[in-house]
Amino acid sequence: MAHLKKITDSSPLEIKEGKFPIYICRCQLSKNLPYCDGTHQCIKDEEGPNALYVYEGDRRIKL
């Protein structure tokens, strides 16, 4: 299933509560929403704000 999303945040939100921090996904690509699963790492090298990408599973296509 392809995902077409405008990503505005490429890192998780860290919530410190209790003994261990919780990381909330802000890129919306996690397979374990609402939690970050590290998938945001694949968008770190995207080109500027006008570039458009499609993510399909582990595959990325630049349009």
- What is the binding site for ligand FES (CB under 6 A)? 11-12, 25-27, 29-30, 36-40
Give pairs for 44-53: CB < 8 Å, separation 24+: 44/10, 46/7, 46/10
Calculate ∠ Cα 38-25-43, nearest 5°.
55
CB 61 → ligand FES: shortest distance, Å?
Answer: 19
When the beta carbons of 30 and 55 are compared against ligand FES, the nearer one is 30
Least distance CB 22 / ligand FES (angstroms) = 12
CB-nearer residue toward ligand FES: 24 or 61: 24
Report the length, in residues, of the chain: 63
